[in-house]
Amino acid sequence: MTADMVKKLTLIIAVFFLFILARGVFASENAVTLHLFWSKGCPHCAKEKTFVSALKSKYPKLQIKEYEISENRENLKLLEQTAKALSTTVSGVPFTLIGTTYITGYVSDEVTGKEIEDAVSCAFRDGCTDIVSSIALSGSQSASAAGGRVKLPTVSLPVFGSLNLTQMSLPALTIVMGLMDGFNPCAMWTLLFLISLLLGMKSRRRMWALGSAFIAASGLVYFLFLSAWLNFFLFAGAVFFIRIAIGIIALGSGAWYLKEYFTNKGNTCTVVAGHKNRQRVFERIREVVNKRAFALAFVGIILLAFAVNAIELFCSLGLPAVYTKVLATSRLPVWQYYSYLVLYIIFFMLDDMLVFVTAMVTLRAVGPQSKYGRVSHLVGGVLMLAIGILLLFKPQLLMFG
């Protein structure tokens, strides 16, 4: 790919980003539809109809569609298809839907009414998928059983096969993004240099201990980094412009990964290549490893891992920020949030652990082949672009909880 082609591709991507941003900013102005299934002679239905009529005055852009099911068999069929799409059963009416959020029955304005208003407010803020209208228009189920997620086109990728983001579970998404993040060449150069020094030692126990300490400390740094992103999004992630900003970051990261796939065939780290401080890091690693006292070397390698990985976090800004935004969007217990972070770290560190263990067993320094890094750039690019588009236009499709 020539320099002129790269410039043209960059210009096209920049224009696309501006278009996406403009569309995303105006997305919050779209109308939200409340679907109310009711029957004649139902007092609770009458109470809710009065409430949603008053709610209309508070939310002028709220559209209300009512479906009487006791005499209209088409409306009853639509209700059955909707319940099937949501993998639920309808035990009675009123049955209310805002996007994929459904509420059965009506207790009072203070209880059920508040639930309905909260769902409406959330839909205006984050957007929602109107599955009832989709079913009514298509005459068939157009949402999947997993929370009403819409089926998007499947992308075929080398090695990894077919990829359909909205059909992925949260564990699968965590594993894929962790692996993509782990193939970052900027996170590998320090470990490879460390291994080259460890292989010159006589003590196998010291080799294993220092290498394992470096990898464990690196994983801990990244876990703290992810935790900071997660807590930020849990605190302020519902703000509309934060979602737009992360969506743009995802698109930008996706474009960068694809550029790296087409232009960086050697899968080298373009961020730290030739960096003036890199030689200083090498000297520091050599100094720490060669300390006679094991305790000093052990503590030194941990501190060095913290310092080096804190610097190299710049190379991995996009994926962890986007992943933790998706994770924070899901409604999960606190312990599950951190369990997913641990799962992410395990697969993020998997290539480091494989390289280290292989080197210690064979006493030969080996690194991941560049073709796997390039494939990770391709998969990561497609994945980040898909997530970026969903964050801007259909954020509800990323709510796994």
C-alpha distance from residue 139 to each of 34, 101, 131, 365 (Å): 19, 21, 11, 60
CB atoms within 10 A of CB 117: 18
The larger pLDDT score, comparing residue 315 to residue 332, is at: 332
Beta pairing, strands 155-157 & 101-104: unpaired
Whole-angstrom Cα distance, residue 34 to residue 44?
17
What sign does the dihedral 322-340-216-304 (CA atoms) show?
A: positive
Q: What is the pLDDT of residues 161-186, one digit of tens each?
A: 455 554 567 888 888 888 878 776 56
| Residues in CB range of 110: below 8 A, 6 or more apart | none
Q: What is the pLDDT of residues 247-257, one digit of tens each?
A: 888 888 888 87
Look at residue 368 in the predicted model and tell me its pLDDT.
56
**pTM of the full predicted structure?**
0.57
Whole-angstrom Cα distance, residue 306 to residue 288?
14
The larger pLDDT score, comparing residue 361 to residue 264, is at: 361
Which of 129, 119, 177, 171 shows the shortest CA–CA distance to 151? Answer: 129
Phi, psi dihedrals of residue 201, rounded to the nearest 5°: -85, 155
Structural domains in the chain, sorted by start: 31-138 (3.40.30.10), 160-398 (no CATH)
How large a percentage of the chain has pLDDT more than 70?
69
Mean pLDDT of 76-102: 86
Sequence length of the chain is 401
Q: What is the pLDDT of residues 198-217, one digit of tens each?
A: 887 878 888 899 889 989 99
Q: What is the pLDDT of residues 260-279, one digit of tens each?
A: 778 866 555 555 544 555 66
336 burial type by CB count under 10 A (0-12 exposed, 13-18 middle, 19+ buried): middle
| Residues in CB range of 356: below 8 A, 6 or more apart | 191, 195, 211, 212, 215
Beta pairing, strands 62-68 & 95-98: unpaired
Q: Which residues pair with 155 in a beta bridge?
A: 163
**Does residue 199 contact residue 365 with C-beta atoms inside 8 Å?**
yes
Look at residue 317 in the predicted model and tell me its pLDDT.
66
- Provide the angle, in degrees to the nearest 10, between the axes of the packed helices 204-236 and 350-362: 180
Look at residue 351 in the predicted model and tell me its pLDDT.
82
Q: How far apart are the first and last CA of the chain?
A: 43
- Gyration radius from the chain CA atoms: 26
The larger pLDDT score, comparing residue 185 to residue 360, is at: 360
C-alpha distance from residue 62 to each of 31, 119, 122, 392 (Å): 6, 12, 12, 21
Look at residue 344 in the predicted model and tell me its pLDDT.
93
Whole-angstrom Cα distance, residue 18 to residue 141?
34
CB atoms within 10 A of CB 230: 21
Whole-angstrom Cα distance, residue 290 to residue 303?
15
Q: Which residues pair with 399 in a beta bridge?
A: none
